Amino acid sequence: MRKRKEKRVPILLRIAVSLALIYILAPILVIIGSSFASVANLTFPPKGFSLRWYQEYFKDTGWLNATWISIKLAMIATACTVLLGSLSAYGIEKSKHRNMWLSFFTTPLTIPTIISGLALLQFYNFLEVERNFWAILSGHIVFVTPFVTRTMYTSFYRFNHSIEEASWVMGAGKVKTFLLIVLPAVKSGLMSSVFFAFITSFSNLTISIFLATGKNITLPIKIYTSASFDPTPVLSAISTIIIIITITVMMVMKHFGDHE
């Protein structure tokens, strides 16, 4: 790796950047701080130190259920959307009218999420589909796939297609070539697709809230209702856990990305 040239940064710029960082990070610090407080009201600066809100979270089957539902949703949605999004992006990139197809497949990105949620609800009502786990899952798949399609399209577009052709000429069929040559070449795009598909599904509130019933409360819905009607530092504890997991995953990905 080449070393970046050290440059002196003007002092005013440093101050401005620091202020911006504090502004962005402050709410997160408040949440992390308050998750370790020993008193029940959400105050800052936090009073005392305890892990009781973490204990409460892990004891409460309601929280654990909601977490498990969200994890299941996000895992299945990630698998399905990465598969669908990658294959459609690959097809779009190979097609004659790729720009037209790309616009078509990513139209959902231009529709406000709340409208998509409402539309899905009405659509399911019309079809008389039961609003269960699978209904939420299909909603998430519809919502997340275009993000993956767009990311993967960029990867396939940058991909040097002659290595694919080289593999064909050397005797590998199309499917084998896709698995052995194309996928490894778009690995970083795939990894970020997996990451963002998971996060997008896991943290989605707007779609889920239209499709969930009492039996299928996802974690974001439970956080939202709890914050509205029954604010407790357990919320901070959960948020802190999510933040730590997210940062860890991002760092792991960056590590692998660098060694590509």
Partner 1 sequence: MDALVIKNLEKKFGDIEILKTINLEVKQGEFVSLLGPSGCGKTTTLRIIAGLLDATSGEVYINGVNVADVPVHKRNNGMVFQNYALFPHMTVAQNIEYGLKQHKISRAERRKKVREGMELVHLEYLAGRYPKQLSGGQQQRVALARALVLQPNLLLLDEPLSNLDARLREEMQMEIRNIQKKLNVTTIFVTHDQKEALSMSDKVAVMNKGIIEQYGTPEELYDNPKTEFVSTFIGYSNLIRGVVSTKDEHRMLLETNYGKVQIPLQDGLETGSRILGLLRPERIRLKKTFGSDLNCIRCTVIERVYAGSSIRYTVKTITDQNVVVTVIAPDESNNLSVGEEGCIQWLAQNMNLIEVNDEETD
Q: Which residues bind partner 1 (CB under 8 A)?
A: 160, 162-163, 165-174, 176, 180-181, 184-185, 187
| Shortest Å distance, C-beta 82 to partner 1 | 19
CB of 62 to partner 1, least distance (A): 46
- Within 13 A of 135's CA, how many CA atoms are on the CB side? 23
- From residue 131, give the alpha-carbon distance in Å to each of 9, 11, 43, 192, 251: 56, 57, 38, 30, 37
For partner 1, which is the closer residue by CB, 106 or 167?
167
CB of 251 to partner 1, least distance (A): 23
The smaller minimum CB distance to partner 1, of residues 162 and 228, is found at 162
Return the number of the residue (11 or 169) whose C-beta is nearest partner 1: 169
* Closer of 13 and 169 to partner 1 (Cβ): 169
**For residues 2 and 8, which CB has a smaller minimum distance to partner 1 in the complex?**
2
Minimum Å distance from CB 5 to partner 1? 23
Return the number of the residue (11 or 170) whose C-beta is nearest partner 1.
170
Write out the chain in H/E/C secondary structure.
Answer: CCCCCCCCCCHHHHHHHHHHHHHHHHHHHHHHHHHCCCCCCCCCCCCCCCCHHHHHHHHCHHHHHHHHHHHHHHHHHHHHHHHHHHHHHHHHHHCCCHHHHHHHHCHHHHCCHHHHHHHHHHHHHHHCCCCCHHHHHHHHHHHHHHHHHHHHHHHHHHCCHHHHHHHHHCCCCHHHHHHHHHHHHCHHHHHHHHHHHHHHHHCCCHHHHHHCCHHHCCHHHHHHHHHHHCCCCHHHHHHHHHHHHHHHHHHHHHHHHHCC
Query: Residue 99 Cβ, how far from partner 1 at the closest point, in Å?
Result: 18
CB of 183 to partner 1, least distance (A): 10
